[in-house]
Amino acid sequence: MIIDAHTHLWQRDMLPEKYWINAAWMMSQFIPGDMSIDVILKSDAMQKYMDGSAERLLAEMEEASIDKAIVFGTDWGLALGEPKIPVDDLNKFIADNAKEYSDKFIPFFTIDPRRPNAAILFETALTKWEMKGLKLHPTTGYYPDGEECYKLFEIADKYQVPVITHTGYLTGLKGRTASIEYFDAPTTDFPKIKFSFAHLSFGKIEDLIGIITMKPNIYCDISAHGQLLITNSPSDFYRQLRFIMNHQLVSNKVMFGSDWPATSSLMTLSKWVGTIKDLDNPKISEVLDKFGYKKFRNKDIKQVLGLNATKFLGS
């Protein structure tokens, strides 16, 4: 069983236009020459980024032999300006797609906890829309250990559903409030909620090892940071993943994730799954040996690709 623990379903108008402009600006940094933001917004890479349709995700999952994906939107309206399609409709879009493809998608609700009635909307999503968890993106500037967020955790605790949070920086948004340290209190105060820190906290591996070792309710996913690292510096990806998996109480908490379609221009889901399946390749073992690290075994690969996510989802 292969599970992608971090994917998005969305269309351009479901996110603030400012986010797309920021993303295009970011992409312009990688392109030689002087291309205008308008031209980049129309590029193939940006069009793929914006096209988070269920059908496209399903086709890529099929090609990559991914059995199930956790799907969610994102709520950046309070920080970047409201998108044309409000977040309530985005959440409903996620729930409806998950209902249609219930054997493939596991829908998580997303909201900025500062919105009026956030907790009531979350509870409705769990009870009426059959959503299965909560996705947070504290980069809009709220505090994960603040009163508003605690109201959401109380609902997650009541229904015993997991919480995924973005960790790390993001262009045009605020990474400090999405640091691991702001989850110290919630992960202690709600020991029965399973939390996942996304994107391997963009390389803060030692911090992750520290907190996951001490708190058995914390997981993490390798999305986005993983594809960026394997593209830029493969040995560092092997080293970082091996480093975290070397720790007995952490190796069963690391989950495969893609951040699709945000990472579509880096690599296909099939290539990303293939990268993980290939971790026990003798050439990679040789690289790890140079760092004094042991090699990846088939058991590690199975844990990352699905076994750990199965536990996170409580099944």
Residues making contact with Zn ion (CB under 5 A): 259
How far is the C-alpha of 200 from the C-alpha of 142, rounded, in Å? 21
Q: Is 106 left (phi over 0), alpha (psi -120 to 50) or beta?
A: beta
Beta carbon of residue 187, minimum distance to Zn ion (angstroms, whole number): 20
* The dihedral formed by the CA atoms of 100, 277, 258 and 89, expressed in degrees to the nearest 10: 10
Beta carbon of residue 198, minimum distance to Zn ion (angstroms, whole number): 6
Task: Specify the 3-state DSSP secondary structure of 6.
Answer: strand
Beta carbon of residue 313, minimum distance to Zn ion (angstroms, whole number): 17
Kindly tell me which of 123 and 259 has the beta carbon lying closer to Zn ion.
259
Kindly tell me which of 70 and 126 has the beta carbon lying closer to Zn ion.
70
Kindly tell me which of 122 and 202 has the beta carbon lying closer to Zn ion.
202
Beta carbon of residue 124, minimum distance to Zn ion (angstroms, whole number): 23
SS (H, E, C) 142-204: CCCCCHHHHHHHHHHHHHCCCEEECCCCCCCCCCHHHCHHHHHHHHHHCCCCCEEEHHHHHHC
Kindly tell me which of 187 and 263 has the beta carbon lying closer to Zn ion.
263
Beta carbon of residue 221, minimum distance to Zn ion (angstroms, whole number): 9
Kindly tell me which of 112 and 259 has the beta carbon lying closer to Zn ion.
259
Kindly tell me which of 23 and 284 has the beta carbon lying closer to Zn ion.
23
- Return the amino acid letter for 125: A
Beta carbon of residue 259, minimum distance to Zn ion (angstroms, whole number): 4
Q: Return the half-sphere exposure (C-beta side, CA atoms, 13 A cut-off) of residue 243.
A: 16
How far is the C-alpha of 63 from the C-alpha of 81, rounded, in Å? 36
How many CB atoms lie under 10 A from the CB of residue 127?
11
Q: Which residue is nearest to Zn ion (CB)?
A: 259
Q: Is 147 exposed, middle or buried (0-12, 13-18, 19+ CB in 10 A)?
A: exposed
Beta carbon of residue 156, minimum distance to Zn ion (angstroms, whole number): 19
Kindly tell me which of 9 and 149 has the beta carbon lying closer to Zn ion.
9
Q: Which of 183, 208, 75 is nearest to 136 (CA)?
A: 75
